Structure 1
Amino acid sequence: MNQHFEQIIDRKNTRAAKWDLVKQLYGSEDVLPMWVADMDFQIPPAVSNALSERAKHGIFGYTLTDKTFSQSVVDWINYKHKWSIKSDWLLYSPGVITTLHMAIQALTEKGDKVLIQTPVYPPFFQIVKTHERQLIENELLLTNGKYEIDFRDMEEKFKQGVKAFILCNPHNPVGRVWTKDELEKIIALCKKYNVLILADEIHADLVYEPNKHIPIASLDEEILQHSITCMSPTKTFNLAGLQASYVVTANKTIRKEMEEMFHKQGIHGVNTLGITALEAAYNDGRQWLTQLMEQLKTNLDHVIEIFDNRTDVNVIRPEGTYLIWLDFRSLNMSHEELKKFLQKDAKIGLNDGVSFGEKGTGFMRMNIATPLALVKDGVERITTALDNRKKEEE
C-alpha cells in the first residue's frame, strides 16, 4: 500500500464540507462522514508544488487559458481515453454542474422535455426543473445485482418528444461504466429521435479494470456534432475546491451558443489556481492516479468482502467512481428508519438514497476515497450496529 494514501489527515476546521457539516447534517460530532464526493487524500505532489510556486509569484490577476494549457487537456484525453480532440473544441467552466445549467438554457427551450436516468446525481433534477423544462425519467433496471438501461422505456420516452438527454457515465451513484454496445444503442436512439446528448463524464478517469470508459462522442461523427461532453480533473485529482472543468464540443454552433450563455451569466472560465492545478495534474499526475486506483480497489475489495458475508446489506459493485451504492432493503425499514439507524446507531454519515430519486428508497451511497483505516471503521460501524439490532430482535 502506498504511504501517501495511508495517512489520515485531519480536515476538520478547514471549511471542508464533508467534515465541518457533520453535526449540522447528522446531528452529532461523532458521526464518521462518508458522503460528499471528494477524497481524504492529498493531491499529487506535482500539483502541490505547482500551486506553491504560483502562490510565491504573489500576483493573481486575470489569467489566460492559452494553447499550452489547452494542449494539456487534449493530451490527457488522448492518453486516458484514446480520443483525439482539437483544442478549439474546448470551453472552460468552473464546474460540470455549472456547464449543464448553461447547456439547458442555451440549447433547449422552456417546456422542452429533458431525460435523465434514475437513480442519479441529485443536481440533475434541479438542472431540469429550475429552468422550467419537463423532467422525464428513464429508470435503470437492477438485475442480478447490476444496473442496466431499459432501452424499451427509453425509446418510448424519446417518442414523446424528448429534446435532450443528460447521460451520466460513469454513472453516479450506481457505478456503471456503460459498455460500447450500450453506448451504441443510446446513440442509435438519439439519432433516430434527434435527441441532444449532454454527457457528464466527470468520473471518466476513475474506472476499475477490466472496465473501460468510452466517451460517447468519440463513437459516432453525427453524435460528435450533436452533443457536449463535460469533463474535469476535480474528481480524479481531488481538486473540486479549485473549480476547474471543461466542455468538449465539435459543433461550432453549439459551442458559440454555450459560450454566449456563459458570458450572459457572467461566467468566464477557470480561476488562476484552477488553471495551474489542472495543467500540473494532467502533465504530471499519471503515476499518482495509478496508485490512487490501486488504493481504491483495495478499499472496494474490503467493503465487498465484509458485506458479502452478510444478508442484510447488498453491495452494488461499482465499475467506476469511488462511490458505492449500498442496498439495505432487506432490513424492511422505512427509509426514515434507515436514515435514523445509520446516523444514531451506526454513527456513519452516508448520502441519502432518496435524494437520487424515488428508486433510491432503501439505498445509501458510501464514499470510499479515504484511507483504508477509515473505510474499515465505517464498515465496522455499520456491521456492529446491524449485529446489535439483530440481538435486540431475538
Structure 2
Amino acid sequence: MFNKIPDRRGTNSYKWDLKREDIIPLWVADMDFEVSEEIKEAILKRVKHGVFGYTFRPDSYYHAVITWFKEYHDFEIKKDWIVAVPGVVPGISFAIQAFTLPGEKVIVQPPVYRPFYEVVVNSGRRIVYNNLIERNGYYEMDFEDLERKIDKDVRMLILCSPHNPVGRVWKKEELEILGEICLKNDIIVVSDEIHADIIFNNKHRVFLSIDEKFYNNTIVLTSPNKSFNIAGLQSGNAIIPNKLLRDRFERIIELQHLGHSNIFSIVATEVAYTKGRHWLDKLLDYIYENALFVKKFFEKELNIDVNLPEGTFLMWIDFRRIQNPHQKLLNAGVWLNDGVEFGPGGEGYQRMNIATSREILKEALNRIKTIF
C-alpha cells in the first residue's frame, strides 16, 4: 500500500518543487503517501455536486471528532469545547493574541518546531527558552529550569506533544508536573497535539485528560492533517473546556473573519475520523519499519546511534561528526531540516521525515553515507 507513491513533482508541492529535481526531499512534515480510498471517494463525491458555497460544520463533523477522541485516545470531549481552526499554528497564534499582551512572555521547550518561535515574535511577545535535557539522545523536560524562569510576565507555555523534532511521547507523570507548575503560576498551556495519532509502542495522553483541574488553563490543538496526510486542506480544532477561555479565543477568530473552513477539509476530517482507523494502523506499521530501517543503517554503516521516535514520522539524527552537515547533505542530493531551525540544542542535528517509500529512503541513506 505504501511502497508505491505518486510523483509529486510539478504539483506545486512545497516539499518536492522548491529545489533542483535531483534532490530527495525528506524535510517538511507531510507524507508522500496517497490518502485513504475513503477520503478520496468522499472528496470526489463532493466535487461532483459542483457547488462550493459557504458551508458550516454539521453535527456529524463534531460527532466524528468526539468519537475519535473517545475511541482512539480514551478521552471524552463535549461538542461545546470544539472550536474549528484553519490549522494548529494559526490556533497557536489565536491563543497568543487572546491570552497575552505585547511584551509579555511565552515559554517554549527547544529544540522545537520553528513556527512556535515565529508566532511568538511576530505577535510582539518575548520568548523564554526552557531547553529540554538530552541524555544519550533521549530528551526530558527540565522542570527546575522552568520554575527558575517563570516571572510575572510569563503568561503562556506552548507544549509540543508528541514532541517535534525529538520524537518524545510525554509520560503522564511528566505532564502532571508540567501542569501543576503552570496552574500554580497562572500560565496558559497551549498543547500542540497534531502528531497525537502517530504513536509507536506507547500511549499518547491528551493534556486535558491528565487532570480535570487543567481544564481551567489549557487549550489543546489537534488536527487530522499529519495522521491522514491532508495538510493542504488546512483542518484543525481547538479543544477548550473553559468557557471564558473559549469565548476569548473565538472572539479573536471572529475579529479576523477566519471561522469558515475549506469545504473539503470538513469532508476529509469527518471521513478520516470515522473510516480511517484501518488505514492509519497500516500506516503506523510501515512508518515504524522505516524507522527501524534508518536506525539500522546509521548504526551499521555509519556507527551513529539513533533513537527510535516514540511518536511522529520524524527522526532527530546527530550529525555533529560532520562540519556544516546541512550543506553537505544538499550537495549529496538529500534535503533534511537543519537542526538550527529548531532553536537552542539543535546545532549539529538534522530532522529526517521518514514518511516516504522504502525505496526512496534507501536511496537517500546511500547518498547520506557519501558525506562521511
Q: Same fold (TM over 0.5)?
A: yes
Match of 2:278 in 1: 287
Among candidates 363, 366, 381, match of residue 349 of structure 2:
363
What are the equivalent positions in structure 2 for 1:10-25 lying under 5 Å apart? 10-23=7-20
Q: CA RMSD in A?
A: 1.2
Paired AA for residue 339 in structure 1: H
Aligned length: 372
Q: Deviations over 1:100-144 (max 9, x none)?
A: 111100111111111000000000001111111111000011102
Q: Any conservation in 2 of the 1:174–1:316 contact (CA below 8 Å)?
A: no
Residues 1:124 and 2:116 are matched in the alignment: yes
Residues 1:272 and 2:269 are matched in the alignment: no
Q: Any conservation in 2 of the 1:141–1:148 contact (CA below 8 Å)?
A: yes
1: CA distance, partners of 2:258 / 2:307? 38
- Normalized per residue, the structure richer in helix is 1
2: CA distance, partners of 1:234 / 1:324? 19
Identity of aligned residues (%): 42
Deviation at 1:84, TM superposition (A): 0.3
Match of 2:193 in 1: 201
What are the equivalent positions in structure 2 for 1:205-284 lying under 5 Å apart? 205-209=197-201, 211-284=202-275
Match of 1:5 in 2: 2
Deviation at 1:313, TM superposition (A): 3.6
Deviation at 1:309, TM superposition (A): 2.1
3-state SS of paired residue (1:225): helix
Q: Deviations over 1:151-206 (max 9, x none)?
A: 11011112454210000000000000000011111011112211110000000000
Deviation at 1:59, TM superposition (A): 0.6
Deviation at 1:384, TM superposition (A): 3.0
Match of 1:304 in 2: 295
Deviation at 1:311, TM superposition (A): 5.2
Match of 2:71 in 1: 79
1: CA distance, partners of 2:203 / 2:151? 30
Match of 1:338 in 2: 325
2: CA distance, partners of 1:141 / 1:85? 33
Paired AA for residue 266 in structure 1: H
3-state SS of paired residue (1:385): coil
Deviation at 1:80, TM superposition (A): 1.0
1: CA distance, partners of 2:352 / 2:134? 18
3-state SS of paired residue (1:228): strand
Q: Flag the 1:237–1:204 CA change in 2: closer, same or farther, 3 A.
A: same
Structure 1 unaligned runs (5+)? 24-28, 387-394
Paired AA for residue 373 in structure 1: E
Paired AA for residue 318 in structure 1: P
Q: Any conservation in 2 of the 1:94–1:270 contact (CA below 8 Å)?
A: yes
1: CA distance, partners of 2:334 / 2:113? 20
3-state SS of paired residue (1:132): coil
Residues 1:147 and 2:145 are matched in the alignment: no
1: CA distance, partners of 2:82 / 2:296? 42
TM-score w.r.t. structure 1 length? 0.92
1: CA distance, partners of 2:261 / 2:313? 25
Paired AA for residue 369 in structure 1: A
Residues 1:113 and 2:105 are matched in the alignment: yes
3-state SS of paired residue (2:15): helix
3-state SS of paired residue (2:350): strand
Match of 1:133 in 2: 125
Paired AA for residue 347 in structure 2: T
3-state SS of paired residue (1:11): coil
Among candidates 288, 310, 321, match of residue 319 of structure 1:
310
1: CA distance, partners of 2:11 / 2:241? 40
Match of 1:33 in 2: 25
Match of 2:337 in 1: 351
Deviation at 1:268, TM superposition (A): 1.4
1: CA distance, partners of 2:5 / 2:61? 33
1: CA distance, partners of 2:145 / 2:126? 17
Match of 2:44 in 1: 52
1: CA distance, partners of 2:213 / 2:320? 42
